[in-house]
Every structure is written in C-alpha cells, then in structure tokens.
C-alpha cells in the first residue's frame, strides 16, 4: 500500500465498474468510522462541463473515457483536503451534462473516501492514495444497477442507457477500468455486502489514523 502525501489526511480510493457497488462500500466506511471523520468524494462531481456544446450533442460524449473527467481539478481539490483545507466542489447536472454554477463546501476531514470508475487510471491521482480498493462485480449485475440508477435518478430512457452501454460503457470498462484492477491493494467481490472486506478496510484505516497521530 502506498504512503501517499498524507501529512494531515488519509485518502482511500474505491474503483470498479459502473454499478459495481463502490458507493455502498464508501457509505459503509462512512457509517462505521463516523461522519465527523470521513468525507466521500465522487468522481462524478468532476465531469467536464459540456455547456459549450449544443444540448443535442452533449449525450454523444463518451463519459466513460478518462478525458471526460476534470482530473486536474480533482487532484488540486484532493491535495487541499489532505492538507486539512476546505474546497468548493462543483455541482454537476447529469440531465444537462453541465455544471450548475453552484458549489458544495467540503472539509476539513481526516479521512477522504474517493470513489469512481477511472480513479486508478491516473498515476498522479493514484500516488495520493493510502489504500486502493477495487470492487469486482459481475457485468450483468452492474448493468441492471446502471439501468435502475440512470432511469430513476438521471432521467434517461432504457434505450439510451443500453445504447450507451454497448457503445462506450462496456468498451471503456474493458480498456480502462478492468485493467486498473492491478493497482488495487484489495479486490472486493460483492461490493458493500462483503462485510469481511469492509472490516479489513476499516481496520487498516484505523491503523493509519493511529500512525498519523504518533507522527504529530
């Protein structure tokens, strides 16, 4: 496991395919360790603003390619959080594919849990992480979860979700997401329902917290 740059903060990266259960893993860590210590950051908040594209063209963007994410801003924000500072995270509208102009003020927190499908693809981003977790879930389960999420939460039709899955989600998963599994310190099957894995992660985080206290 990497040492990261965690003089004040600890960063846990949770990657895996779309619908793998990353968010549930992050929520369980958040619940078990206490919300006063932990903040969850999602890669989804850092999608590039497509406001300069005509609305009818925005859905054609490949949202599963690393270029779709503002990695530079994410890294700047994570570095600030690790230093114990506060950030203004952009609010992203998944229906219009634009940033709303509003912000969430976040921090400071001792533990930052970062989740996203592409967070292990970037070497600089990986180098910030103290623990790297990959959530490994069968593709049929992931597709079913993505269908429910995008239809209910993001105003999509079943046809558009399936078309996107075939054209970009599955190919990008095979090209970028699945290969990033090799960078993980821990691979978790069954996602947030794997209680043993969650306990292992929590134990490691608690050990890192004790170690950082001793260094003060």
How does pLDDT run across 153-209, given as a tens digit for each residue? 777 889 888 988 898 889 999 999 999 999 999 999 877 678 888 888 889 888 888
pTM recorded for the entire structure: 0.85
53: left (phi over 0), alpha (psi -120 to 50) or beta: beta
CA 4 – CA 30 distance, rounded (Å): 20
Separation of alpha carbons 193 and 171, rounded Å? 27
pLDDT, tens digit, 9 for 90 and up, residues 8-42: 799 999 999 988 888 888 888 888 787 677 899 99
Structural domains of the chain sorted by starting position, each given as residue range(s) with its CATH number in brackets: 10-202 (3.40.50.300)
In DSSP terms, 135 is beta-bridged to 16, 188
């Amino acid at each position: 496991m990497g040492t990261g740059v965690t003089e004040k903060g600890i960063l846990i990266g949770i990657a895996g395919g779309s619908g793998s259960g990353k968010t549930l893993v992050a929520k369980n860590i958040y619940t078990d360790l206490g919300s006063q210590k932990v903040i969850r950051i999602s890669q989804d908040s850092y999608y590039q603003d497509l406001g300069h594209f005509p609305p009818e063209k925005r859905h054609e963007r490949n949202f599963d390619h690393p270029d779709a994410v503002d990695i530079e801003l994410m890294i700047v924000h994570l570095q600030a959080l690790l230093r114990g500072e506060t950030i203004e995270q952009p609010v992203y509208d998944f229906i219009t594919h634009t940033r709303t102009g509003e912000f969430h003020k976040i921090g400071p927190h001792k533990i930052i849990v970062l989740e996203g499908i592409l967070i292990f693809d970037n070497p600089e981003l990986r180098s910030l992480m103290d623990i790297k977790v990959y959530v490994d879930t069968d593709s049929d389960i992931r597709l079913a979860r993505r269908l429910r999420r995008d239809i209910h939460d993001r105003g999509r039709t079943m046809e558009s979700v399936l078309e996107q899955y075939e054209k970009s989600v599955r190919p990008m998963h095979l090209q970028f997401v699945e290969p990033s599994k090799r960078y993980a310190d821990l691979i978790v099957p069954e996602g947030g329902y794997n209680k043993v894995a969650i306990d292992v992660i929590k134990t490691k985080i608690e050990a890192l917290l004790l170690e950082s206290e001793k260094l003060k």
